[in-house]
Amino acid sequence: MTGFLRHRFVAFCIAGLALCLLALTLSVSIGSTRIPAGTVWAIVAHKLGLVAVTPDWTEGRQNIVWDLRLPRALLAAMVGAGLGMAGAVMQGVTRNPLADPHLLGVSAGAGFGANLAILLLGNLLGAFTVPLFAFAGALTATALVVSVAGFTRSTGSTRLVLAGLAVSFVIAAGSNVLIMLADPRAINSVVFWMLGGFGLAQWNNLIFPAFALLFSGAVFLAYAQELNALSMGDESAATLGVDVRRLRILMLTISAFLTGALVAFSGMIGFVGLMMPHIARLLIGGDNRRVLPASALLGAIFLVLADLVARRLTAPNDMPVGVVTGLVGGLFFIVLLARQRG
C-alpha cells in the first residue's frame, strides 16, 4: 500500500466513522418523539456510567433511547457492515461484479426457516424461534450449495453462482408452498420478515450478530491478500501458491455464515452487498485490505439511514427497510448493468 493510498484510506476511515456516528445519532434522535442529540448521548453516557451525569430527562425518553432506538440503530449498522463485507468477498471469489450474498441461496434458506417457524411452529423456543430457524435454514442452504458444487465439480467462479441460484429456486419454491398452505392471518408476519426490518431489535439479541461480524471480518481480512491474487484469475492465483478451490469454498462458507447470522435477526435485506463494494472500490481502489473495511463502513451508514427513511415515510407505522434498499439497489443495479454493457 503506497503512502498516498494509505493516507487516503486513513482519511476515508476517519470520515466514515464520523458519518456513521452522525447516522446513528440521527436514527436515535428522530422519530415520533424527537429527542435532542445532546440528550441522546447524555442518556447513553449515563447508562454506560462513562461520566457523572445528572438526569434532566424523563423516564419515558430514556426508555425510548436506550431500550428502543439505540438497539435498533446498532443492529442496522451491524447488518449493513456484515452484508457489505460479504458482498465484497463474494464479488472477489466469483469475479462477478453483480454478485452479492443472496446469490448463494442464503437468503432463500433463511426465508424458508423463518416461514417454517412463523407459520407452523409458533413460539416453540420463545423469542429466538424465528432467528434460530432462519439461521439454520441459511446454513443448510449453504451446505446444499457446497455439496452441489462438489458433486458436479463446479467450483469455478461462474458455476458456483449457478449452483447457488439453482438451490435458491428450489428452496424458494418450498417457501411458497408453506405460504400457500398457511393460515392467512399469519401471512402479514411472513411478508414483513421477508422484506426486512429492525423493529424487534433488543439488547439481548445483538450479541450473536456482533460475534458473527467480528469473527467473519477477522477471517476475511486474514485472507485479503489471497483474495487480491484470486482477482487476477485462478491460474495466476495458483501460480502464486494460493489453493484456489479451498479459498473459494472457505470464503463462500464464511460469507454465508455471516449473512445467515445477520438475516436471522433482521429479515431479508437485498442489494447492500451489491452496492457497497462497488462504491468502496470507486473511492479507495481495489485492494481488499482496504475494500473490506470500507464496505463495512459504507454498509453500516447506508442501512442506518435507510432504516431512518423507512420509519419516517410511513410514520407512525414501520415500512420494511427492504423496500427502501430494493428501490435504491434496483436503480444502482440498472446503472451497473449499463456500465457493464461493453
Question: What's the average model confidence in pLDDT over 7-29?
Answer: 95
The answer to whether the beta carbons of residues 84 and 76 sit under 8 Å apart is: no
Question: What's the average model confidence in pLDDT over 262-283?
Answer: 89
pLDDT the model gives residue 66: 94
Whole-angstrom CA distances from 152 to 93, 104, 232, 254 are: 18, 16, 25, 21
User: Vertex 186, ends 182 and 190: CA angle to 5°?
Assistant: 95
Rounded CA separation 294/282 (Å): 11
By C-alpha distance, which of 113, 238, 96, 236 is closest to 160? 96
Dihedral (Cα; 53, 34, 200, 76), 10-degree rounding: -80
- Bigger pLDDT: 150 vs 206: 206
Q: Which three cell numbers stand for residue 334?
A: 440498472
Domain 3-339 has CATH 1.10.3470.10: yes
Domain ranges of the chain: 3-339
Q: Which three cell numbers stand for residue 41?
A: 448521548
> Residue 101: which region, alpha, beta or left (left: phi > 0; alpha: psi -120 to 50)?
alpha
316-341 confidence digits (pLDDT tens)? 777 889 889 989 988 887 887 777 65
Question: What's the average model confidence in pLDDT over 240-256?
Answer: 87
Q: C-alpha 309: how far from its chain's center?
A: 18
> Residue 221: which region, alpha, beta or left (left: phi > 0; alpha: psi -120 to 50)?
alpha
- Total residue length of the chain: 342
The pLDDT mean for the chain works out to 86
pLDDT the model gives residue 1: 54
59-71 confidence digits (pLDDT tens)? 999 999 999 999 9
Whole-angstrom CA distances from 220 to 176, 213, 223, 255 are: 34, 10, 5, 9
pLDDT the model gives residue 99: 77
The answer to whether the beta carbons of residues 242 and 229 sit under 8 Å apart is: yes
- Bigger pLDDT: 122 vs 241: 241
> Residue 57: which region, alpha, beta or left (left: phi > 0; alpha: psi -120 to 50)?
beta
CA neighbours closer than 13 Å in the CB half-sphere of residue 342: 1
Residue 297 clears pLDDT 90, i.e. is over it = yes
